[in-house]
Structure 1
């Protein structure tokens, strides 16, 4: 599994947009976060800056993980009743410093709960001590220029981005929430611990917004993704309380097509639906989404199940961000 998806080559079914502009320096093959696929005899030896994308792509689809057990673990419901999903070993996200081919017997204890992410040596300094709103921007050029690493939250309108952000920092109104979609209309930067940023982006798919407004949101969001050199990863929020939406798959496809790092955050996992009413439970929708995403990607992206109501996934998200951030800073 890739640490980042800037080298991921999706088998696109319905690309949402194409770009004629070349990738900026931060997205090219010499970027330090262009890591190769892990799950090999010596995955650390495959981390490189100098490989071309074509070479990386060849390596990323070769040499499957040599582990006998098809399922690393199946987690039963925890004490808090949070459901889990089965995680095939070859669908795990393996960070730098972890070699599952040599340590498969002990790796199960390092898989973050409710996710496919293995906890690695860079997962430190994950707690949030301070959080403050810095500024809103409508252009990438207006964003903070201090170069601190940042993680962007994006998803369909009303998927729960602002609620998740508030949950991560344990502040009820750091990011304003609303039952009406389209509340977030700018690139909003929140500085965490004075060392990194959470970025709240406008939601997509809000049909009630004027066409010109939606076009502006989409344009400056895409420009931010393609040109923001301090962007460590995009966290794409998916509503797990409902079946997968085509627009979410297309958005994930576009991120992969443009080699933009991505983690899937499944929101609203606290919402339980009874089968007798025809609705699926969140963990079932998550599993269905995993099957669908495989039609777009050769390898599944990292993902985490979350709930802003119960704080499910909060610690897992912060640990995942920490190991991505610390590796980014070191390299």
Structure 2
């Protein structure tokens, strides 16, 4: 089902997350607007910036899929990031296929070691070593496990399946002995009884609300198809609960032809961004990816690095 609108989020329905998460990342993703009753759920560019479309930095030797045009007012600017006066300088700091500007915290992004640690069905059973972590979540069969394998450059670290619902627990993978990637059960259709799917939703939401070491949720969206209501509702729930979020558009290598109204991935990304703006005052950070071509892999790791290093400092 394609959705055309969701209501804006207002302060009255926002609930405060775990104190540790709020302390570390509220300035990164929450910027109150004194002129409105709406809360900006992601860091907003300065009002002095223009809306002139700018280009993304890219390696001319590297093939890539088209990316949506982006204007300065739609960029994600991490805190403590100086904004250059000229757009040419700024464009060299924008991660390719994204709206994310690199900050001074974008370092130590390379993955040199990755290990599966454990599967849990309760938040309290998750690793207790205090390392920062990033959670991957999305509709069943959106490509979470494939993306995780791409990020660590291993084919079978996380099990993949064409059958939706393969991931059924909170799965922790330790990276470089310094931080975690967390693979969560997909939402929506899954080949499991309704009772089990309800349990997945319950412990996943409990994890989001109570996991003090969660730096950010990476919400995966299938860019090869039009926007789905369930994805927008999930993004809305994360926003209502002030949980930091980055949108990861998957399957961007699928170059569908325009038959019977079909759209290409970059067009679906544009459409989803417009829908997001219908209920968030500003759009969250986003990255276009493909686990087939590994497009977006380095960009995700750089983005994770700057979020992680900022979290550790604050």
Q: TM-score, normalised by structure 1?
A: 0.84
- Aligned residue in 2 for 1:246: 229
Q: Is the 8 A contact 1:155 1:236 kept in 2?
A: yes
Among residues 52, 64, 70, which one is paired with 1:70 in the alignment? 52
- For residues 59 and 306 of structure 1, what CA distance do their matches in structure 2 show? 23
Which residue is equivalent to 1:51?
none
* Distance change (3 Å), C-alpha of 1:184 and 1:68: closer
Q: 1:224 matched to which residue of 2?
A: 207
**Is the CA contact (8 Å cut-off) linking 2:276 and 2:283 kept in structure 1?**
yes
Match of 1:213 in 2: 196
Tell me if structure 1 keeps the 8 A contact 2:43–2:78.
Answer: no
Aligned pairs for 1:176-191 within 5 A? 176-191=159-174
The answer to whether the Cα contact below 8 Å between 1:168 and 1:318 also exists between their aligned partners in 2 is: yes
What secondary structure does 1:266 align onto? strand
Distance 1:197 1:300, change over 3 A: same
Mapped contact 2:45–2:73 kept (Cα < 8 A): no
Who is 2:27 aligned against? Answer: 35
Matches within 5 A, 1:99-114: 99-100=82-83, 102=85, 104-114=87-97
Unaligned runs of 5+ in 1: 1-9, 39-45, 47-53
Aligned with residue 310 of structure 1, among 275, 293, 303:
293
How large is the RMSD of aligned CA atoms in angstroms? 3.0
2:131 pairs with 1:137: no
Could you say which residue in structure 2 is the equivalent of 1:84? 67
SS in 2 for 1:99: coil
1:325 corresponds to which of 293, 301, 308: 308
Number of equivalent positions: 303
Q: Which residue of 2 aligns with 1:25?
A: 19
**Cα 1:105–1:254, aligned 2, differ >3 Å: closer, same or farther?**
same
State the secondary structure of the residue aligned to 2:119. strand
Cα shift at 1:71: 1.7
Name the CA distance, whole Å, in 2 between partners of 1:90 and 1:262: 19
Q: Aligned pair 1:301/2:284, yes or no? A: yes
List gaps (5 residues or longer) in structure 2.
1-6
